[in-house]
Amino acid sequence: MAGADVRISSWTPKHVARWLKEEGFCEYVDLLCVQHRLDGASLLTLTEYDLRSPPLELKVLGDIKRLMLSLRRLRQRNGHALQELGVACNGQVHVCEGQGLVCNGHPLSGDMAVPGLASEQCHQHTNGKCRQHRRQLDPECWKTVVSFIYVMFVIGVTSFIMVIVHDRVPDMQTYPPLPDIFLDSVPRIPWAFAMAEACGLILCFFWFLVLLLHKHRSILMRRLCSLMGTVFMLRCVTMFVTSLSVPGQHLQCSAKMYGDIWAKLQRALVIWSGFGMTLTGVHTCGDYMFSGHTVVLTMLNFFVTEYTPRSWNIIHTLSWVLNLFGIFFILAAHEHYSIDVFIAFYITTRIFLYYHTLANTRAYQQSRRARVWFPMFSFFECNVHGPVPNEYCWPFSKPAFMKALIG
């Protein structure tokens, strides 16, 4: 046999050429060993994708399949060599259609993975077909609890800041509403703000269904709480540092309503318990830069569309319609300036995209600046390797539980 007295990791292109001839692939010796100088280490990591793609581009399907079968037998006999190369564990390696390496039933990832190979587990059926499984993601529910505590704390701080800015709202007689192209052109619709909140509730219902049925619901909930908390913490700063005049004369805003700190805390508790919604009887002034309702609408829309399959076009279209109509109703109610809504939409979308780009590429691991500016992000996402797959499952362990619940 080729190189029987030489470790396969030390094979030269000549040893590989001898092995190819023994396996019956003489016509590929020149291509693989002479032109591309394939040695033992590179032979072990050769995949079907490599054979089909440039620069090799093998054209005969039967030869590709037979060569891959020979390679699999070679890997099985040389598990120790793969372990030395850093692409195996305990000498047990399996390859699924040439797309990735799996050891002991777990996909190789991180430093152990071979570049260009997908980290998916494969299961060989009796009919010879390969079924691929996604990697297992640790839900880390305790981190989700931490993120929930974080967002509820931020909502409490936001509620208290809303009470403070209400006391600082500029006098309507001295500071009339600022010029605004949209507000000056579109007459006010009294019931529009209630419709905007109704759009938000419908989006929240959609998100609850996605969260309930998604296999990785803990990670999704953690990301939503993290992003919501971060955006609203930024909103606390912007509405505290600058007080804008009210956007419409219909708003009845009386400054200095809450004198002592205890009255402020009681009012903040009312706002916190009602989530700042007019449907729950909460009415505030001064919290204009930027629109919190727009943040919620946009964030829910992006989470619904991100964590549902692309083929769910009706859900995605309806989600975007609710988002855009909700924004229109906010402006039509003259509850916010146009700049409030625009800035809220821009900040929310950018933070959502930046967060998921960093999480999907794990770029923060190579960037000290990212770890400095996003310490909480690194804490939440350190064990999530790559994009979260959209997989769904029944949330209850036993159907009998649902039968008993429904009665």
Q: Give the pLDDT band of residue 169 (cuts 50, 70, 90).
A: confident
Give kind and range of the element (H or E) at residue 256.
none
Q: Give the pLDDT band of residue 403 (cuts 50, 70, 90).
A: low
**Nearest-5° Cα angle at 241, 239 to 242:** 70
**How far, in Å, are 195, 223, 377 from residue 145 at the CA level?**
32, 11, 15
On the question of pLDDT at 58 being above 70, the answer is yes
Rounded mean pLDDT of 370-388? 79
CA distance 383 to 123: 25
Q: Give the pLDDT band of residue 384 (cuts 50, 70, 90).
A: confident
CA distance 231 to 352: 10
Task: Name the residue ranges covered by the structural domains of the chain.
Answer: 8-20+36-133, 142-395
Greatest mean pLDDT among 73-82, 108-117, 199-208, 234-243: 199-208
Judge whether 94 counts as a catalytic residue.
Answer: no
Take residue 44 and report the two structure tokens written for it: 């072990």
What pLDDT, in 10s, does the model give residues 265-318? Answer: 888 898 988 888 888 878 888 888 899 999 999 999 999 999 999 899 999 999
| Residues paired with residue 107 on neighbouring β-strands, in sequence order | 102
Question: Where does residue 92 rank: exposed (0-12), middle (13-18), buried (19+ CB within 10 A)?
Answer: middle
Judge whether 340 counts as a catalytic residue.
Answer: yes
What is the DSSP code (8-state) at residue 35? Answer: I
Take residue 404 and report the two structure tokens written for it: 């008993």
Q: Choose the catalytic residue: 50, 180, 287, 340.
A: 340
Among candidate residues 290, 296, 299, 284, the one with its CA nearest the CA of residue 341: 290
Take residue 41 and report the two structure tokens written for it: 């280490």
CA distance 121 to 114: 14
CA distance 245 to 242: 10
94: phi then psi, degrees, rounded to nearest 5: -135, 145
* Amino acid 292: pLDDT: 92
3-class DSSP state of 92:
strand
CA distance 287 to 289: 6
Q: Which amino acid is it at 36? A: H
* Predicted structure pTM score: 0.65
Lowest mean pLDDT among 18-22, 93-97, 180-184: 93-97
What pLDDT, in 10s, does the model give residues 329-345? Answer: 999 999 999 999 999 99
- The mean of the pLDDT values for the chain is 81
pLDDT > 90 fraction of the chain, expressed in percent and rounded: 36
On the question of pLDDT at 127 being above 70, the answer is no
**How far, in Å, are 94, 150, 261, 270 from residue 144 at the CA level?**
34, 10, 32, 26
| Contact of 231 with 351, CB cutoff 8 Å | yes
* Amino acid 167: pLDDT: 82
| Residues paired with residue 123 on neighbouring β-strands, in sequence order | 131
Q: Choose the catalytic residue: 15, 94, 293, 334.
A: 293
What pLDDT, in 10s, does the model give residues 88-126? Answer: 544 344 444 444 444 434 444 433 343 333 334 444 443
Higher pLDDT, 365 or 239: 239
| Contact of 127 with 110, CB cutoff 8 Å | no
3-class DSSP state of 113:
coil
Q: Choose the catalytic residue: 94, 166, 334, 336.
A: 336
CA distance 279 to 271: 12
* Amino acid 182: pLDDT: 93
Higher pLDDT, 245 or 200: 200
Judge whether 287 counts as a catalytic residue.
Answer: no
* Amino acid 144: pLDDT: 93
* Amino acid 159: pLDDT: 92
CA distance 347 to 250: 28
**How far, in Å, are 211, 306, 397, 402 from residue 393 at the CA level?**
11, 17, 10, 14
Query: Which residues touch 350 (CB under 8 Å, ≥6 apart)?
Result: none
CA distance 346 to 334: 20
On the question of pLDDT at 398 being above 70, the answer is no
pLDDT > 70 fraction of the chain, expressed in percent and rounded: 78
Among candidate residues 276, 352, 15, the one with its CA nearest the CA of residue 1: 15
* Amino acid 255: pLDDT: 60
What separation, in Å, do the N-terminal and C-terminal C-alpha atoms of the chain show?
Answer: 70
* Amino acid 130: pLDDT: 45
Lowest mean pLDDT among 35-49, 61-75, 170-184, 249-263: 249-263
